[in-house]
Chains A and B, each alone.
Chain A
């Protein structure tokens, strides 16, 4: 035996503890000594672990099939579709594979019969070999299951799998089978639409109320459906399903037996509500027909009553169709919780998606408005050549004009794209004409004479001068200037301002086509669903979707071709392939079509406006909250400022209140003694200071009143309070006395001093002493101060109460306290309102960001890798006579 194999055996036995004690210890020793052997040991452990994991994984995948995994793995359905869109090669591969299964959907068989029937080719002349079909069917069937698995189905119309699969001794319609047929039994509620997903991939949609009981009445209680699939050659032989029609040999596309049982008795299907059946096939053959299987007396089958396949598309229930962009639902779910939304639901997702309609830039009114389109066409500039930027202009010689005025516009202009004084310069035969860009457009007068060649320069503040000389312009195109090349800084600025163009299909359009009016059109088919998923990813999806909506009477393949003709690149290939499938239309009542079209126009506008209105309402709500706060703030500020700025003219005040959002953090007036009308002079050093008003009074006669000093104090001040002049005068100690100067008895001002006072304050270490005397200056000649010890608080209190007659000294201190208190209250109120305001704005911003995230997800133009372009359009604005 080979050494390697021997080693593996030994190690396997060692791990399994299957060696004798001696062998075990020998092995242990060998492992320690031989790195090679040790490597095999390590690998063996890994292999065993990996085998175990694989087995567990199989169980995980198996057991979870009945629980949430089946839901979520099936949810991959749309994902697989989206994967087909990403790259061409992958797409082709997958699309081909899927197309084969999807072809089944294009092989709809509408039968109102129970019993067996098959899809067969009309004659044996078909070159297709039976064998070639058989082995492929299985793969196709499994793909078919995936493609049919849509999110909404699992929410509402979860496909039903057979409740029982058993080999059952029976003779389906009297057929003698070689092997016991494998019967799949489905339990359905006949009142609802049921989607049956059979084992081999056949999908049967049994419409609501389609099953009749033995008496021909609509079944209302549980129905069991027996299905036998014979899609592969082995099954056909095993079930004795020969493919003959008389002498002719037929090619089979698959055979099926189905029989409903109502209360244990054989039932049938209503002729008016046929079932929709999709049988997977690897090669769709339009020549196939449906045949009814008739069993002869010997128990052999003969195929009779061929009917050409009705090549109509079959509308399915709207809830089975995914109208939203692929992945939108799961993206939304991954963003939760948001605000009050914790759990998602189909309804919530739909409603959020529709609400995005308002953000799309498209103007509903202008769409389909051909007059407008024509006008726009006429406005486009005449042919413009490149190198350098020049445009020949033909002027009607009959017109007697000397100057033409042109408008140069920047298309898709956004604020800040150009600085306000950016200039367009047009050089014409060495003469310059200039125009200043205002909001992205400039007007230039060009002289008519010598109109041969024009060079255009764009002078911008942000990026200097750009000569538009490398633009490629053809006769019917608008000039495009790639700003990225010219002005990376500008691009950066623009990127910061996040201006991704919006080019997603307007959700209002989707909401419109999802209305019951469209239920009987191809909009309600899986085939359209496949196209819609593609259109959602395309930058001109809206325009292309319009083609489908405006041509509901045409065959799907004709519209596919129209779309293919309008686009380029990989998507063109995809649509060309779709067109090649030659899909037709649903059975359409043409009389209703006009009605549907009118309904579309009206509803779309209605839904779009609704979305806009909702947005306006939401904004209005936030705005009204803000306004309310602004008013409160204005009131608080008004109260405060009017109190402290009595002199502020009312107009000024109201103007300042109007600016509240900007001045929301108004600083309160800083209270200060200096705000009083005092003279701010200290008068304690050199006797009389020149206080103009007082001195003037005294010049008309003065009298000196002697005031006693506090002998015990070294640090002492005595103030003469001249209340009428709002001044406090510090007096100077002159040999233990102070002198207060007052108007003499003859002075006409003497009356003002009939209740004046003196205040003394002294400090001995930490002890404050206070003295005061109120007297009539006209009547006394000396004042003796009586001192008493006080605390600082008592001092302030005494000063405050000293003069009930509006004493300034005491009052100013009290005023100041009051002001501080007011200011604090004002500031607190103001801050509270401003904070509330900020909260509302932050909430709104968060919401806007959330919505923007969703929009970006569905917007094919988001983060477009194409260079940012500015389009410059030159139009002949008007002709002016000079």
Chain B
């Protein structure tokens, strides 16, 4: 499958084939990640997270295919690995990437804002703690672009309005927690 085909499928929200295709990069990427400091459990996590970022990137309205998707993917993996080593205070263990990898790394680094990624990681952990029903509702609305009526039907809400109210309650909860934790992050950084 060519990169162009992968991109158009992702943009058409047909993720299965692209994911399977991009997953062919996993065995070699896994070894690279381990070589540069990830452990067995972290390697697949980094890869999956990076694949998500790549898909997100491809879905951005201004996306242009300027490099090989595989190079970009491994670049994101390395970017995430470096952040991980830093978080685990293992930066000293970091070994300079080989030239080719370094190129990929910079490709990814240019595209990601570390501060924002950190905030997103916090929001992600917050979303993991909210109620399952909230999660589903928000996902149907924000990811699957379902209408509130469809959501009300699918999730057995008595009315569209009650689904809508529930949605905002869920959001309010997430915002409360986000405010609190992002403030802590701000204080820690400053």
Contact = CB atoms under 8 A, between A and B. Distances in A.
Contacts of B116: 46
Interface in A24-68: 39-40, 43-44, 46-57, 59-61, 63-64, 66-68
17 contacts: A43-B179, A51-B127, A52-B142, A53-B120, A55-B144, A56-B56, A57-B48, A57-B49, A59-B16, A60-B19, A63-B15, A66-B20, A67-B19, A67-B24, A72-B30, A72-B43, A76-B41
A598 interface: no
B179 A39 contact: yes
Most chain B CB within 10 A, of A44, A54, A66, is at: A54
Contact of B23 (A44, A49, A57, A67): A67
A46 B123 contact: yes
Contact of B55 (A5, A40, A56): A56
A51 B178 contact: no
A243 to B, nearest CB: 33
B20 A8 contact: no
A9 B168 CA distance: 7
Contacts of B52: 53, 56-57, 60
B56 A47 contact: no
A327 interface: yes
Contacts, number: 124
Interface in A68-124: 68-69, 72-73, 75-76, 79
A48 B142 contact: yes
A450 interface: no
Contacts of A54: 124, 127, 135, 139
Interface stretch (B64-72, B86-94, B169-177): B169-177
A336 B34 CA distance: 12
Nearest to B32: A334
Contacts of B139: 51, 54-55
B108 interface: no
Contact of A52 (B23, B41, B143, B182): B143
Interface string B111-125: 000001001100110
A76 B182 contact: no
A333 interface: yes
For the complex of A and B, the 5 pairs showing the least CB-CB separation, nearest first, are A55-B143, A50-B123, A63-B19, A334-B34, A79-B40
A182 B171 CA distance: 38
Given A68-B27, A76-B40, A59 B175 contact: no
A79 B41 contact: yes
B124 A64 contact: no
Given A8-B172, A46-B119, A47-B174, A72 B182 contact: no
A52 B56 contact: yes
Interface residues of A, number: 41
Given A63-B16, A67-B20, A68-B23, A73 B44 contact: yes
A61 B126 CA distance: 20
B40 A330 contact: yes
A4 interface: yes
B40 A59 contact: no
A12 interface: yes
Contact of A8 (B30, B44, B55, B175): B175
Given A12-B168, A46-B178, 10 more contacts: A2-B172, A8-B171, A8-B175, A43-B179, A50-B120, A50-B124, A51-B138, A69-B23, A79-B41, A330-B34
Contacts of B155: none
A37 to B, nearest CB: 12
B26 interface: yes
Contacts of B27: 68, 72
Given A50-B123, A55-B139, A334-B31, A4 B182 contact: no
Nearest to B31: A334
B19 A47 contact: no
Contacts of B138: 47, 51
Nearest to A50: B123
Contacts of A48: 142
B23 A43 contact: no
Nearest to A48: B142
Interface string A332-372: 01101000000000000000000000000000000000000
B40 A327 contact: yes
A69 B175 contact: no
Given A57-B49, A72-B27, A333-B31, A47 B143 contact: no
Contacts of A334: 31, 34-35
Contact of A47 (B24, B53, B175): B175
B142 A43 contact: no
Given A47-B174, A60-B52, A68 B26 contact: yes
A5 B123 contact: no
A64 B19 contact: yes
B131 to A, nearest CB: 14
A780 to B, nearest CB: 81
Given A64-B20, A67-B20, A51 B44 contact: no
Interface string B81-111: 0000000000000000000000000000000
A57 B53 CA distance: 9
Contacts of B171: 8, 12, 44, 47
B163 interface: no
B76 interface: no
Contacts of B49: 57
A330 B172 CA distance: 45
A58 to B, nearest CB: 8
B51 interface: yes
A55 B126 CA distance: 15
